[in-house]
Structure 1
Amino acid sequence: MIHFYLSDILLRCQYNLTRTLLIRHSMKHERFITAYRDGSLREYTQKQSPGFFDAYDRVIVFSSDEGTTAKYLKSYEVRHGEAPSISPQCSPFLLKSYKDEIMHPLFEIEDDPLMTYENKLFIEWGKAAVKWYQKGTNEKPITQLVNTSEVVFPGYENVIVTYQELKQIIDNQQTYANWHIALSSINAIYAITDRSNGKIYIGSSYNKNGLLGRWKEYASTIHGGNEKFKELHALNPTAHLNFQYIILKVLPKDITALEAVEIENSFKKKLQTIPFGYNKN
């Protein structure tokens, strides 16, 4: 069997393997998830212990994927001797002291030949996934090259999706990676509107998997456990095709069930969804 390796692409793109560092950020780390969601991937990557990048001129950043695979996100150049650059929109928590880490001078590469592979290239990181940074000389087999681009998350206040769109988002994690990160990073009060009659259902999420975990239930079961949706679906098996999902209020990831339900009940009263909508109680 013929294997293609990351090094094949790097050499073609004129990367010096001995001066290239590979980094695999874990999707299990809340700090990384928050930084990536906020658009602070570079700042998160460049905040490392003193001397971390001294032996390297290029840094190739991946995120963990299924098993021990990794998805290519972005490449940066190390400008030795220059002052670090920090975006005004940098996640505030990255500006605070953390262990012995400092900001290093990582910059985006102008006309980077690897740009065409961003969010499309997947490699096998290897069994030693705990080694989250490795030298570019380490051979990494290419496992997949996706011929598609990720769909950009529009912001919580702009989420308006139909059931068909929700199902597509849930079922296509690679294409909707930004959506999965954003929706799993929060809990929320949400509304499901039946566009055929205007009736509304108000719900809330308060679990460790965030709003993504709750909306996955709707994608797989249609009713999500709601009794009135079950009754509606029994009468009309295609009723859910008229459903529209929106986020009414973002809640903290660590909110308690009691706190979330209290806010949910407040929205039910405001929108009168018990007497006129799909909320049973």
Structure 2
Amino acid sequence: MKRYSSERLINTILIASLSVVPLIFVPVGEFADFYYAPKVYAITALAAGFLLILLLKERGNLTTLIYPDRINITLLLYIGLLTLSLFFARDFTTAFYGRPYRLEGFGTLLIYFLLFLAARSSKWSGEQLFRTMLLSATILSVYGILQYFGVDPFPRDFIRANWQKAFSTFGNPNFLGSYLVMMLPVALHQYINKRLSIGIFIYALLLFCLLCTRTMGAWMGGAIACVGYLLVSRLYGGRTRSELGRILLVVLVSAAIALSFNILSGNVLLADITAVMADTSAVVTGSFAAESAG
């Protein structure tokens, strides 16, 4: 009963980390950190909860929860090297906490490490977790799309007051794009392999929001992630006729979303792709324009 209780608490921590934390931001004060600090504080509380579970409930069972295998040992060595590097930093405080508006120091990396251990210790099936993640991704995508088209129900800080790209609760189009790149294969998996009908609508929404970030690196990452998922799932699971039909629909929906975004945005998609192709050509040919490419 005690073990079951611990597993349930750890599963709750995982759901909160992956599905609730991305939604967190505090739009209060023009010069406050709306986006990064609230998320860091939230995952700090969750990591502290995991430590309390280990100390209060699982002290005699640590090797069952935290496996002394190659992955965990390698990560522990990495954390050890990071700890050592703190003593060679020019500014210990910045190295440990990060800088204002970007709290990504050693302390945050340590929190990620603890949450990774929590995830590895869980025996929970991923399907329910995937669906809660998709629910969060849907909410974040709707918000990002509204931002792109000039509808933002929340106040912005002085940095982002006039931004015309989608950044949702992440505070940066690149960060939102990276998040969506990871979520697109999850949506595809739920639709193609798990036959979740609403998955195709979630995929379409995520893809449209990804385009609204206007981040070429994320666009390329999304394409690679989706194609990579289809190849890997084919390699390990084969294909049924039903799945092939769903894949065809995904291709058609992707084309429709790209065309719709290009029309609604005034040919922004085509212009961005053309600019990147021109820059690439300049770099490859070694022309004078290559110096200003990108």
Q: Which TM-score bucket, shorter chain as reference?
A: under 0.3
* TM-score (norm: length of structure 2): 0.25
* TM-score (norm: length of structure 1): 0.25
